[in-house]
Chain A
């Protein structure tokens, strides 16, 4: 049973470009969460999605950031017009229905904005 997959593992973008981060949940999981980890800090919740629905986006910056989890395909975290402060590790986690407390993490995507 494959774990949570994230790609790319490393992404370099210049200021003003767009960044797209992908997450494929564990097989059978329908809940996806995105977390951001700034250097030397803990992970901070960004958004929680189920298939085709955003359930909780209370941790998502109001501008430039968006997330989706389509019926088919991976979840996408999109950052438009990136700035240096967006440089961080972005982790995706997934859980199954009724097991929300068991979140399994992907390896993360390290975004560097130059």
Chain B
């Protein structure tokens, strides 16, 4: 069974600083995707960034980037120039076993509560 582990329950940084959230996962699949979701106080799940396992290049989306280490099964999220609006719960997630019928379940980590202080 796949598992996703986020070892940092809470983190806090000052506005404009850079912060890195950690995530490790365990799987025997060779074809999978990894995600970071943001959940602000509104509780809406917002996709921040996605990484395909077969791509060596780390994904980036504006201020958000990942460090994907496939051999180590590590998938960290770096937020640069952090903003007050980045305050939220962040969840790392995994989906594997993709087949032509699609649709496998997302497996989520426990989350990291990130607070950006003014």
Contact = CB atoms under 8 A, between A and B. Distances in A.
Interface of A: 31, 33, 35, 40-45, 48, 50, 55-56, 58-59, 89, 91, 93, 95, 97-105, 107-108, 110
Interface of B: 4, 33, 42-45, 47, 50, 91, 95, 98, 100-111
Contacts, number: 67
Q: Which of B33, B91, B108, B110: most chain A Cβ within 10 A?
A: B108
A97 B44 CA distance: 23
The 4 lowest CB-CB distance pairs between A and B, nearest first, are A100-B102, A42-B108, A45-B105, A100-B103
Given A42-B91, A42-B109, A100 B98 contact: yes
A interface majority secondary structure: strand
A105 B102 CA distance: 17
Contact of B44 (A58, A59, A108): A108
